[in-house]
Amino acid sequence: MAASTEQKNAKLVKVLVLVVIGMFGFGYALVPLYDVLCELTGINGKGDKTAVKESTYQADINRELTIEFLTTINEQTPLRFWAEKKQLKVNPGKYYTVNFYAENKSGKTLTSQAIASFSPGLAANYVEKVECFCFRQQVFQPDETKTMPMRFVIKPDIPQELKTITLSYTFFDNTKKNAQK
């Protein structure tokens, strides 16, 4: 009887060790899986890393969408950040420029990066940015305020059911990260 219990315990330990190894492997694979998911869906701005040339689209003046602009900063980032407009009515196929502003409140040189997110995530496939401060890191001198334009178009083939798009930018402080390079 004791041998049978020992065999069951040994088998259970082997199963538990395999579960732990599997969980570690899954956790390790989550970062690349998350990056692929974000790249495909446009979540967290993964789909908009570079500028594109302005394309010629036929503007749909009979259709109007609302673009909402949200601005946030990571709690560790000593910036004040806001959009020129909280929302904008747009026609698909027509280009628009919206200015964003950021003020360095730290009194030190600051390097920051803005990350974009779209809601609904599907909208990321239809927002084409020609110019955006989010494409590269921004360097702020002490107490400097910057005007940062974002030029975009909503592609005319955007689904009819999408009537409101929320574009959210979050600034992150990369000063220490860049100092270590």
pLDDT band at 4 (very low <50, low <70, confident <90, very high): confident
The contacts of residue 84 (CB under 8 Å, 6+ apart) are 98, 99, 100, 101
For the chain, the domain total comes to 2
Whole-angstrom Cα Rg for the chain = 23
Beta strands 65-73 and 164-173: pairing type? parallel
168 and 113 in a single domain? The answer is yes
Collapsed DSSP state (helix, strand, coil) of residue 92: coil
91 and 161 in a single domain? The answer is yes
pTM of structure: 0.70
- Which residue range forms the structural domain that includes residue 174? 49-179
34 and 66 in a single domain? The answer is no
132 and 150 in a single domain? The answer is yes
pLDDT band at 36 (very low <50, low <70, confident <90, very high): low
28 and 116 in a single domain? The answer is no
Give the tens place of pLDDT for each residue, 119-158: 998 898 999 999 999 999 999 999 999 999 999 999 999 9
Decide if pLDDT at 109 tops 70.
Answer: yes
The contacts of residue 88 (CB under 8 Å, 6+ apart) are 66, 67, 69, 96, 98
Give the tens place of pLDDT for each residue, 50-94: 556 777 888 889 999 999 999 999 877 889 999 999 999 999 999
Consecutive H or E run containing 175:
helix 175-179
- DSSP E strands: which ranges in the chain? 65-73, 79-83, 87-90, 95-104, 110-119, 127-131, 138-140, 145-154, 164-173
156 and 71 in a single domain? The answer is yes
- What value does the mean pLDDT take over residues 101-107? 91
54 and 23 in a single domain? The answer is no
Q: Are 101 and 81 in contact (CB under 8 A)?
A: yes
pLDDT band at 19 (very low <50, low <70, confident <90, very high): confident
- State the pLDDT at residue 106: 87
Question: What percent of the chain lies above the pLDDT cut of 90?
Answer: 50
